[in-house]
């Protein structure tokens, strides 16, 4: 990360990610919040690309910006009066506490990590490496995750099953 382009890109993407995240948290209209969240996701994808994790970057766009955001949109549209007047809720302070604890954890991990790997060369091919890792070494967590998703799908079908 010595050349000018990378540094400029890093700061631009960081500002974009954090600024959009701030808008997401502060704006009152939930649909605007979703749009800001998508911008934040795109910023994170850009950061992944900057770290030469091309597969992760593209997967971030595909899954978070493309699919998760639409899931949230569905949740908003299917909830009556969800789009406006959503600030007054009893879960405000617990949510703030949880968010603060999470932020503390992330900061603690970031401070404890040795970041002396900046000079390492960029990865060549990440897609095949991730595929190998998922299907060899980490096959058990991978399969557990797929079973979890299947259980969630079955649960959704059971809930909306007609009598």
> Which of 9, 16, 51, 59: binder of other proteins (CB under 8 A)?
59
Question: Binding pattern to other proteins, positions 4-33, x when CB under 8 A?
Answer: -x-----------------------x-xx-
Taking CB under 8 A as the binding criterion, the range among 13-21, 62-70, 100-108, 146-154 that sits at the site for other proteins is 62-70
Nearest to 10 by CA among 51, 40, 58, 42: 51
87 and 31 Cβ atoms separated by less than 8 Å? no
Structure tokens at 81: 């009066």
Dist. CA 51–CA 10, nearest whole Å: 10
Dist. CA 7–CA 66, nearest whole Å: 27
Structure tokens at 125: 């091919």
40, exposed or middle or buried, with CB in 10 Å at 0-12, 13-18, 19+?
buried
> Which of 34, 40, 43, 47: binder of other proteins (CB under 8 A)?
34
Question: Binding pattern to other proteins, positions 72-91, x when CB under 8 A?
Answer: -xx--x--xx----------
> Which of 88, 117, 121, 163: binder of other proteins (CB under 8 A)?
163
Q: How far is the CB of 118 from other proteins (least distance, A)?
A: 21
94 binds other proteins (CB under 8 A): no
The alpha carbons of the chain give a radius of gyration, in whole angstroms, of 19
Residues that bind other proteins (CB under 8 A): 5, 29, 31-32, 34-35, 38, 42, 54-55, 58-59, 61-62, 65-67, 69-70, 73-74, 77, 80-81, 125, 127, 158-163
């Amino acid at each position: 990360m010595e050349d000018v382009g990378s540094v400029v890109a890093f700061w631009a993407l960081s500002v974009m990610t954090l600024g959009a995240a701030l808008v997401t948290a502060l704006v009152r209209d939930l649909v605007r919040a979703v749009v800001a969240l998508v911008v934040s996701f795109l910023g994170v994808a850009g950061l992944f690309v900057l770290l030469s994790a091309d597969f992760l970057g593209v997967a971030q766009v595909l899954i978070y910006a493309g699919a998760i955001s639409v899931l949230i949109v569905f949740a908003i549209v299917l909830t009556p009066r969800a789009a406006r007047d959503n600030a007054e809720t009893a879960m405000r302070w617990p949510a703030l506490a949880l968010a603060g604890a999470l932020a503390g954890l992330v900061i603690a991990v970031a401070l404890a990590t040795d970041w002396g790997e900046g000079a390492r060369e960029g990865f060549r091919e990440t897609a095949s490496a991730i595929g190998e890792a998922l299907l060899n070494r980490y096959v058990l967590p991978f399969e557990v995750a797929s079973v979890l998703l299947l259980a969630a799908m079955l649960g959704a079908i059971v809930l909306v099953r007609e009598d």
